[in-house]
Amino acid sequence: MLIEILLALCLLGALVVFVLPDDYAPVGALVASLFPLVTSFLMWFGFDGSGNAFLDGGTLAYETMVQWISVGPYAINWHVGVDGISMPLVVLTTVLTTLAILTAWTPIDERRSQFYGLVLFLETGLLGVFVALDFFAWLVFWEIVLIPMYMLIGVWGGPRRKYAAIKFFVYTNVATLVMFLGFAALVFGLGDAVTSLDMPAIAQAIRAGELGSLGGVGPDTLKLIAFVAMFAGFAVKVPIVPVHTWLPDAHVEAPTPASVLLAGVLLKMGTYALLRFNFTMLPDVAADLAPYIAILAVVSVIYGAMLALAQQDLKRIVAYSSISSMGFVILGLVAYTEFGLGGATFQMLSHGLISGLLFACVGVIYNTTHTRMVGDMAGLADRMPVTTGMFIAGCFAYMGLPFMAGFMGEYFIFQGSFAAEFAGSMVFTAIAMFGIVIVAGYLLYAMQRTLFGEFRLDTDYTIGRAAFHDVVPLAVLVVCIIGLGTAPDVFFGMIQDAVGPLLGGGA
Amino acid sequence: MAPLTALAPTLLLALTALALFVIDSIDPHSKNRTLFSGTATVGSLAALVAAGALLVTGTGTNGGVQFYGGQLVVDGMSLFFTIIFTSVATLVTVASYDYLAGETEQADYYTLVMLAATGMTLLASAGSLAVAFVSLELVSLPTYALVAFLKDNRGSVEAGLKYFLIGALSSAIFAYGISLVYAATGSLLFSDVAAAAAETELTGVLGIGVLMVLAGFAFKTASVPFHFWAPEAYEGAPAPISAFLSSASKAAGFVVAFRVFTVAFGLDITSSVDWVLAFQILAVVTMTLGNFAAATQDNVKRMLAYSSIGQAGYVLIGLAALGGGNNPSVLGMSMVHLFVYGFMNTGAFLFVALVEHWGSVGRTFEDYNGLGREAPIACVAMTVFMFSLAGIPLGGGFLSKYLLFYEAVGAGFWWLAAVGVVNSVLSLYYYSRVVKAMWLNDPASDLSLNSYPIGLYTAVVAAGLVTVLLIPAFGLVTDPAIDAAAALFS
């Protein structure tokens, strides 16, 4: 029941905040977001799931399964639950939503109640994606996420907001369709072997080798087609080069809170889905295609980092670096070793926190200076010491400084990736590791030019200290990042427990 | 003679029409909006409740209740559609409260709406071609008058005239088709036609008859190539009537088509008269043409009119995908799509009515700019309708459409589903234009809304709520629909 309560609280909060008068909306939204936050923490502390939800022997926590719709041969159930992979992402979503709402207090000054209502509605969709286990319910949540994000970018974004919002919407919606076709091919290929759209049931049936041929296409080809279609669909969401072009546009135009959620949680939907669909349901195809996927991952890492290096806009730098970091996640997934899969999941979490922190920092800097151009400012450290400190902490975490979450994620991934069995895994890993050097390069370069040196600002705004409520989310995120870096086991244990069964083969 | 309680929804609607008539004769010049709108709303709500109660208590099971030797049948299918008609009628009567402010002859308007609704419920229960024809006319004649209701508006009168002329022509074609079917089979009763059609030697006559009957239905459901009247009529008519026509009247055309083609003609005769193929062509052409035409409109009401033609194409899949071994579920999902469509499409047209009521705003997409700031709640409802119609899961339209495609693929008609999916993607373009205009674009500097009409607001928000709530409650709709569809094939 806790999951339903969690979703209901978000949705109810969204409705209430939507009709609140604008003046009360910021506080109202903060309070409304605390209910799901507390619920998710209750779920985390009482978490008693074990194994992988999609495989035999996995025990879900807070599972509900009731009949919803039955059409022809397929039953569609309301099936939700969390396992060690989804639990951390649920917590990440609720934490980041609350913090994102705080980051909105200063910059959002028009149509506030609508803004916060949409943020909470977005949270509902995001949580739904991570807890739904029936394909249909999952697809509903997956698609619902698009609408509030489209609105958040399109209404409250920067000068080119409409272009960015529509590009985001078109890219991700078409991607969903491609993915849908791939998944449908699998379901129809299974024929009578499945009687529902239950994702675990489908995963188990496919792993047990019950996939038949469909329309004259043999099971092996069918698997390949489905894998490629689903991969292409999810790759847009991650995003992987070359389908990443919507991301910088969306990020640059999006208001700070939307950027925080976009980088922090929305991108994880893509890697989460890749893990759940491609790598859980079709591990043999994943193994066959491993070198090619690894190439895409390495290209994303290096190319994303190079692009970041070339940017002048602080927000663009952070945006492109997300492409780089998500490339590491793909590398971890494709390694298909205990540390690779676990590290990838851990990296989703840590990247969520770190990129959330960096976007929030850029937001605070922009609120005070009204510019994001690296060349327009220098020596901010003297005038905004706290924000600067947080920004430096975020950059260090991104570079993979030990005792911070980013280090643990990348460490796990590289350890797993070195041990991977596909051809050339060592080389790919080595090249990808070089990406960290570039990351360190552009982040240090950006910090050097904006934060240090003689104070200079090419705008008319005077610089004051950031408001207390602006700094709180930064501080909380830094604490989370250091906490996760020093004690990764608060989540890594349950993650490993959930990804371990994937390697066992069989159903 | 079976108990008349089974006909309660039809009788309630007819009695409401008569009551309105009586009220009007007592005080012919009354402009008492509350009285008229209230009476009509209570009447259609009562019919809705009655239909729901009959469906829940199982009146429709086991072949249903038959009257006059099978001329009228009240079964799961007719009750299911009666719920659609009465829901739409309720929304329309509530919304008309504001729309008709200041109009004379309001009683006539509501009487005609109630009579048309009566005709629709009869159409859903028709057990013979004669009843089908008579009730089709009972639906058509009041709607001709309703389309032309705005007497001082050239567009409205012209639309009414066009609608009437094409309607009369298609009625003639339909009647002639019936006579040919009668010539070939010697009966008008669906079950007898089915038995005789399988053995008749006059397959040529039967074939032409079937195609003419099909053309009659294609007109009523605004399917290509008999759709020309629809955009004109929907644009010219008062917006609540556009909603009524494009949702309820269209559903009425479909229910009788479902029944005639599955019960009277049946799949047995497709070896000689391949009407399934005809529906396949009709479905593909209708959805494609409707969508392309909708994408090129600048006027929101016309866009909705063409898009409703496109939506009819999806529903036609229910008949076009028959014979694939998946019949009850495909047809059932078509019915479910019509059900959801009843709410989201009515809601969308009622939102247009709301915008027309504000008056200062015109009809093009630009006129919707920035409405989200002035009327956020109605605009949220409209957003729900648009996304739901496009197949994004903000409302039940997503589920019904995707399940319909799913079933079509399951029946082996993957190409029908593929055309449907491509059309859905295309439709997102023009539906999202409305959303973009309402929320993303800046309003014209002089945009200010002077009033928030309670009836229209209630209707729009209610339709929006139902559209959203249909997502979790979807199972409640699919089960009766599939049961009802299965009964047709037994």
Say whether pLDDT at A350 is over 80: yes
With tokens 């080595």, the residue in question is: A430
Does residue A74 lie in a domain region?
no
User: Could A71 and B394 be called an inter-chain contact, meaning their C-beta atoms sit closer than 8 Å?
Assistant: no
Helices (H), B68-189: 76-99, 106-125, 129-147, 154-185
Say whether pLDDT at A111 is over 90: no
Nearest to A344 by CA among A496, A507, A125: A496
- pLDDT bucket at B182, cuts 50 / 70 / 90: very high
Does residue A371 lie in a domain region?
yes
Say whether pLDDT at B389 is over 70: yes
Does residue A284 lie in a domain region?
no
The tens digit of pLDDT for each residue in B110-147 reads 999 999 999 999 999 999 999 999 999 999 999 999 99
- By mean pLDDT, which of A289-303, B265-279, B295-309 is the weakest? B265-279
* Shortest CA gap A144–chain B (Å): 6
The tens digit of pLDDT for each residue in A113-139 reads 999 999 999 999 999 999 999 998 999
Question: Which residue in chain B has the smallest CA separation from A140?
Answer: B393
* Shortest CA gap A162–chain B (Å): 7
Does residue A332 lie in a domain region?
yes
Say whether pLDDT at A74 is over 80: no
Does residue A352 lie in a domain region?
yes
pTM attached to this predicted model: 0.90
With tokens 């600048």, the residue in question is: B298
* Shortest CA gap A153–chain B (Å): 9
- Residue in A71, A146, A161 nearest the CB of B329: A71
Q: Where exactly are the structural domains of chain B?
A: 274-490
Say whether pLDDT at A506 is over 50: no
Q: How far apart are CA A39 and CA A355, in angstroms?
A: 24
Question: Which residue in chain B has the smallest CA separation from A156?
Answer: B440
Question: Which residue in chain A has the smallest CA separation from B474?
Answer: A69
Q: Are A302 and A328 in contact (CB under 8 A)?
A: no
Say whether pLDDT at A47 is over 60: yes
Does residue A201 lie in a domain region?
no
- Residue in B326, B376, B475 nearest the CB of A69: B475
Does residue A329 lie in a domain region?
yes
Contacts 24+ apart (CB under 8 A), B192-195: B193/B129, B193/B264, B193/B265, B194/B263, B194/B264, B194/B265, B194/B266, B194/B268
Does residue A109 lie in a domain region?
no
- Residue in A67, A71, A166 nearest the CB of B403: A71
Say whether pLDDT at B361 is over 60: no
Which of A69, A177, A222 is the best substitution to test chain B (most B C-beta atoms within 10 A)? Answer: A69
Q: How far apart are CA A190 and CA A213, in angstroms?
A: 8
Higher pLDDT, A129 or A504: A129
pLDDT at B316: 92
- Residue in B392, B393, B474 nearest the CB of A69: B474
The tens digit of pLDDT for each residue in A376-408 reads 888 888 888 889 999 999 999 988 888 899 899
Q: How far apart are CA B381 and CA B384, in angstroms?
A: 5
Question: Which residue in chain B has the smallest CA separation from A189?
Answer: B410
Say whether pLDDT at B298 is over 50: yes
pLDDT at A392: 93
**For residue B25, with 0-12 CB atoms within 10 Å meaning exposed, 13-18 middle and 19 or more buried, which class applies?**
exposed
* Shortest CA gap A143–chain B (Å): 6
The tens digit of pLDDT for each residue in A354-371 reads 999 999 999 999 988 888
pLDDT at B360: 54
Say whether pLDDT at B362 is over 80: no
The tens digit of pLDDT for each residue in A244-257 reads 999 999 999 999 99
Nearest to A147 by CA among B349, B395, B367: B395
- Percent of chain B whose predicted confidence (pLDDT) is above 70: 99
Other residues' Cβ atoms within 10 Å of the Cβ of residue B331:
27
> What is the total count of domains within chain A?
1
pLDDT at B229: 86
User: Could A70 and B421 be called an inter-chain contact, meaning their C-beta atoms sit closer than 8 Å?
Assistant: no
- By mean pLDDT, which of A128-137, A456-465, B64-73, B279-288 is the weakest? A456-465
Q: What is the mean pLDDT of residues B374-401?
A: 89
- By mean pLDDT, which of A310-319, B60-69, B414-423 is the weakest? B60-69
User: Could B406 and A111 be called an inter-chain contact, meaning their C-beta atoms sit closer than 8 Å?
Assistant: no
pLDDT at A507: 42
Domain that holds residue A456: 289-507
Question: Which residue in chain B has the smallest CA separation from A15?
Answer: B377
The tens digit of pLDDT for each residue in A456-491 reads 887 777 777 788 888 999 999 999 999 999 999 889
Q: What is the mean pLDDT of residues B390-418?
A: 86
Within its chain, how far is the Cα of B462 from the centroid?
18
